Structure 1
């Protein structure tokens, strides 16, 4: 299998890179740094190339802030690298978590798993609607489930998954961690692994920091939020009967 490990890191956060790099070296996990997109440094023209307010407000309950747009673009950079370099898959990490030692064994395991998958969550706080599980060995489980956790901190993305997500990425209309929860919109063969392969750090998320800064300036729409959530939950319930088949393990 031809794969790489990508760590998304903003140029303004060398301390985060140092922290996660130290852990990667400790556990023997080679990686490639991917420069994150600073949303607040994008020009209006650059934002307009990837973002449309009307689409955003139709599919989400608030206008995205610059940090959320930049974060989505950072993940897109990783997907493009997977396609351009013709990788079988990649492990994509954000720099505000630390990979656990078990992640090395997890990657070795996926070297022997068939590529009949698109997206696999490795950072899971709580798994919901699990319909079936399979052992990956070494106390690891691969889960078939309808609802993915809302985090983009740590995931495996295959070549086919990168192609699908790039094809449906623009215009950006939701935060990346929310958008991936709508896996059924792009026919993603999505799964989750337990236990979680990450530890938390003392660093808060850049997205959360930006969101807190702009919280008072963002006009939320509670009725729209309730409507979108209701429609989402209905689609999740329906998708439980049409989940992807497990890859060959």
Structure 2
């Protein structure tokens, strides 16, 4: 796989996870390496991209330190993709490869050209619109948010789009990836997915006990978003 690289986002001291990752990826021809994750709980100051008060008004809650670290970690991976100017598979370190992984990537790289970003894993089943296929795999458009960011493939121009659109961090990373109204990037998917999750608890993102925003809180959030669209030159939740 000379035309792509793999980056595995992982905390520096996650020895057991990294051992499992190595056993998975060393079975493939993918050129890959670890990328040190940002430990959100160890941040000594609030990142310039994050405005907690505004986030709470427009999102309804603040991001957890781990969610913030997760987003910053993926931004590091996007920047690496741009700097190296090579298509990149970005993994979180809780993945497992399915037997058809290399054939699926070969299909995307060698048989498809009409994509910039492709989801390789999803937590939820959603309806899919067929775009292109070869009988074994299909490039599809998900009609809904499949949730998760365990594995996805980006071309450098797509990574730059995501960097440009994430000057402000105000929602969980997996939601941002599907936020097309914000970044205008068509995030496609491959069917069947070639990557799954191991099921172990994540170390770079969490949402403990978070309940949906309802009632007065939801109404207040909607009003604040309307004001943001009216008065901001770069609204967070454009229509």
For the superposition of Structure 1 and Structure 2, which TM-score range results when normalised by the shorter chain? 0.7 to 0.9
In 2, are the aligned partners of 1:124 and 1:194 still within 8 Å (CA)? no
SS in 1 for 2:34: strand
Alignment of 1:4-153 (within 5 A): 4-44=5-45, 47-87=46-86, 89-113=87-111, 115-137=113-135, 139-153=136-150
Distance in structure 1 (CA, Å) of the matches to 2:115 and 2:126: 19
Contact 2:5 2:30 in 1 (8 A): no
Number of positions where the alignment pairs a residue of Structure 1 with one of Structure 2: 220
User: Runs of 5+ in structure 2 lacking a partner?
Assistant: 226-239
CA distance in 2, matches of 1:23, 1:60: 37
Contact kept, 8 Å, 2:56 with 2:62, in 1: the verdict is yes
Q: How far did 1:94 drift?
A: 0.5
Pairing 1:166–2:163 present: yes
User: 1:211 — aligned with what?
Assistant: 207
Taking a change above 3 Å as real, the CA distance of residues 105 and 62 of structure 1, as seen in their structure-2 partners, is same
- For residue 173 of structure 2, what is the aligned residue in structure 1? 176
Measure the CA separation in 2 of the matches of 1:19 and 1:192: 25
1:225 is displaced (CA, Å) by 5.0
1:194 CA drift (Å): 1.2
Contact 1:6 1:92 survives alignment (8 Å): yes
Q: Helix, strand or coil for the counterpart of 2:47? A: helix
Distance 1:146 1:225 in 2: 24
Q: Which has the higher helix share?
A: 1
Partners of 1:31 and 1:202 lie apart in 2 by 22
What is the alpha-carbon distance in structure 2 between the residues aligned to residue 220 and residue 130 of structure 1?
Answer: 26
What secondary structure is seen at the aligned counterpart in 1 of 2:129? Answer: strand
Q: Does the 8 Å contact 2:40/2:67 carry over to 1?
A: yes
- Shift of the 113–189 alpha-carbon distance from structure 1 to 2, 3 Å rule, reads farther
Shifted more, 120-129 versus 72-81: the winner is 120-129
SS at 2:82's partner residue?
helix
User: What are structure 1's unaligned runs of at least 5 residues?
Assistant: 232-249
Q: 1:133–1:222: structure 2 CA closer, same or farther, 3 Å change rule?
A: same
Q: How high is the TM-score relative to the length of structure 1?
A: 0.79
